[in-house]
């Protein structure tokens, strides 16, 4: 498989919906591509290092209010029951 993608460092603001945390970059890339085309929202990846292991948090959308993020999360509930709201300003 081949992928074309651009990586840009972001300073996101507002609220997003995190659907999961992944270790495998290939799984993350496939899912991010599918989510972006399915929901027509920006997909953001947060890289975290815990005990020298990298984890990739997959976050959909940048909403101006928590209420808008919560409404979007409800659309995702069936496929991603553990999705939760991220406040970018607190990260």
**Backbone φ and ψ of 82, nearest 5°:** -95, 10
Question: What's this model's pTM, rounded to 2 decimal places?
Answer: 0.90
DSSP 8-state symbol, 64: S
Which residues, listed in sequence order, are joined to residue 43 by a DSSP beta bridge? 60
Which residues, listed in sequence order, are joined to residue 63 by a DSSP beta bridge? 15
Pairing label, strands 43-50, 15-22: unpaired
Neighbours of 11 (CB within 10 A): 5
Please give the chain's pLDDT, 91 residues, in tens: 776 667 888 899 999 999 999 999 888 888 998 999 999 999 999 999 999 999 999 999 999 999 999 999 999 999 999 999 999 999 8
């Amino acid at each position: 498989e081949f992928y074309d993608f651009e990586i840009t460092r972001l300073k996101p603001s507002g609220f997003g919906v995190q659907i999961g945390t992944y270790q495998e970059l290939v799984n993350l890339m496939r899912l991010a591509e599918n989510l972006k085309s399915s929901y027509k929202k920006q997909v953001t990846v947060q890289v975290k290092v815990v005990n020298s292991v990298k984890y990739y948090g997959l976050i959909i959308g940048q909403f101006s209010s928590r209420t808008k993020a919560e409404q979007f999360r409800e659309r995702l509930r069936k496929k991603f029951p553990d999705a939760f709201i991220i406040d970018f300003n607190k990260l």
